[in-house]
Structure 1
Amino acid sequence: MKELAGDGVPVTVACRVLKLARQPYYRWLDQPVTDAMLEAGVSRERAVRRAP
């Protein structure tokens, strides 16, 4: 998304084409997800999928 905005594509247009809401994008810009947070989320998802 940042790359598209850097190339002159408005965020509104990019979000519409990618079928993403703008609010989460701007929230992510303000508070980026760290690698540790991402890994924790992936681990939780894997655990949930393994549960019967």
Structure 2
Amino acid sequence: MGDTVFAVIVLGIVGASLRLRWRPPIDLLLARLLALALMRYMLPLLVQVI
């Protein structure tokens, strides 16, 4: 659990830094990939909690 939270925080920081440098279309692609990664990590956690 702790590792997943740490990974999410790291991904958020990386995404924020890339957002400052990159252009909007690439940022949208990154946001989409980040959302998919969050879903993939969070859904199993939610299933475990429930």
The TM-score range, normalised by the shorter chain, is 0.3 to 0.5
Which structure shows the bigger proportion of residues in helix conformation? 2
What TM-score does the superposition give when structure 1 sets the normalisation length? 0.36
What TM-score does the superposition give when structure 2 sets the normalisation length? 0.37
- RCO greater where, 1 or 2, for CA within 8 Å and sep 6 or more? 2
Q: Which has the larger radius of gyration?
A: 1
